[in-house]
Amino acid sequence: MVEVNIKEEVEKAKKFKVYETYVFVQTYSNFYNGRICQVIESDPPTFIFLDDVVPAPFPIEFKELKYPIVPSNKEKK
């Protein structure tokens, strides 16, 4: 199992947001391809994600990540 460092993921998410990088996100319940709209450094840290398939942005807590956030190999739909 991969251990996710939340502090590192928050910093990566900020960079992905600034550069509008198309990313792959896998949580314990699902996986998504899309863009990070906002990073919220609250307790718990959260980011707002816009997926290609889901019609509206939604929050994902960093503690829900199964694997680190990475640039996606898929093309935007």
Condensed to tens digits (0 to 9), the pLDDT of residues 55-73 reads 999 999 999 999 999 999 8
| CA dihedral sign of residues 46, 18, 66, 29 | positive
| Residue 39 to residue 45: CA distance in whole angstroms | 8
| Domain extent listing, the chain | 6-71
Which amino acid makes up residue 29? S
pLDDT at residue 74, as a whole number:
82
Output the six-digit token pair for 71.
Answer: 């640039």
CATH topology classification for 6-71 = SH3 type barrels. (2.30.30)
Model pTM score: 0.92
**Amino acid 56: pLDDT:** 97
